[in-house]
Amino acid sequence: LQLVDDRLRRIEQLRKAQFLDRQVLSNQVIFSQDPLKDDHGHFPSKSKEAKSFEIILSTIPFRHQPALWSAEERINLRNGVIHQNRVLLTRAVLKEAAELPSGPERTALTKAKLDTIRNMSPEQLLLN
């Protein structure tokens, strides 16, 4: 116990010697500082690109609420996603078929897979 007290006393003496002329920063002092300033209280200089980017952003109106989609736009988006997924599945089947050796088996297998894709419901295509 005496050893711990001596050690704490020594730490306190070192702390006083180190921070004698400096301000000891408390949490309140740290959080009251501007996080963008450096240790000397100066703001870092911005590049020309950063300045021009800020100017461009200041001209763009900021919307606080997202733009509402009409029912027609939602249906068009849904149909577009369905079509895109069907195209991607078809491309994958054709790419896979190109790697197989040619013959009637490849033709039959490819035709069966393409028929499966053609007969998929819109809900199944949305899940892919």
Based on the domain organization, do 41 and 79 belong to the same domain?
Answer: no
CA end-to-end span of the chain, whole Å? 68
- Range(s) of the domain holding residue 33: 2-46
pLDDT of 21 = 45
pLDDT of 113 = 95
Tokens representing 100 are 């197989």
Q: Is the pLDDT of residue 37 over 80?
A: no
Question: Is 67 within the bounds of a domain?
Answer: no
User: What percent of the chain shows pLDDT beyond 90?
Assistant: 38
Task: Count how many domains the chain has.
Answer: 2
CA distance readout (Å), 119 to 16, 25, 112? 81, 70, 11
| Nearest-angstrom CA–CA distance, 89 and 100 | 17
pLDDT tens readout for residues 58-84: 888 776 666 788 889 989 999 999 999
Task: Say which residue, 19 or 16, is predicted with more confidence.
Answer: 16
Smallest CA-to-CA distance from 12 within 23, 2, 20, 21 is with 20
Question: Is 117 within the bounds of a domain?
Answer: yes
**What number is the average pLDDT over the span 25-54?**
71
